């Protein structure tokens, strides 16, 4: 069993980054919050495939159910594992996972 990447905080505490591995477009409302908070070029706004049968927003909120735009992973490999996107997403669309260090 390999260990995951571990970093250090400014105060010297250990921190384990978790990298975005998936974005659930069926739940995404295209608000762009993850795009705005991401310090890297990981996300992009794209047109939603309106033929998706699994898109069903039954939430009672202030978001428009008829949005034609949705966020997508543009450059997943540029993710630094900060998880800021998950913290601002109102629909919990992001899935993250720690990664083992790669051999040089």
| pLDDT, tens only, 8-45 | 999 999 999 999 999 999 999 999 999 999 999 999 99
Q: Which pLDDT value is given to residue 3?
A: 81
CB contact at 8 A, 46 and 69: yes
What are the pLDDT digits (tens) for 41-84? 999 999 987 664 544 555 555 555 555 899 999 999 999 999 99
Paired tokens of 16:
């384990």
Q: pTM of the predicted model, to two decimals? A: 0.74
Q: Could you tell me the CATH number of the domain that includes residue 26?
A: 3.30.70.20
Domain count, the chain: 1
Angle value at C-alpha 8, between 91 and 10, nearest 5 degrees? 95
Within a domain: 29 = yes
Q: Which of 37, 44, 40, 45 is nearest to 79 (CA)?
A: 40
Within a domain: 2 = no
How many whole angstroms separate alpha carbon 21 and alpha carbon 29? 19
Paired tokens of 11:
């105060």
Within a domain: 90 = yes
């Amino acid at each position: 069993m390999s260990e995951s990447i571990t970093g250090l905080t400014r105060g010297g505490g250990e921190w384990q980054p978790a990298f975005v591995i998936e974005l659930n477009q069926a739940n995404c409302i295209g608000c762009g919050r993850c795009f705005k908070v991401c310090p890297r070029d990981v996300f992009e706004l794209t047109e939603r495939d309106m033929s998706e049968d699994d898109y069903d927003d039954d939430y009672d909120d202030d978001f428009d159910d008829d949005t034609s735009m949705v966020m997508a992973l543009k450059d997943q490999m540029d993710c630094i594992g900060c998880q800021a996107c998950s913290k601002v997403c109102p629909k919990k669309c992001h899935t993250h996972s720690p990664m083992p260090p790669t051999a040089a």
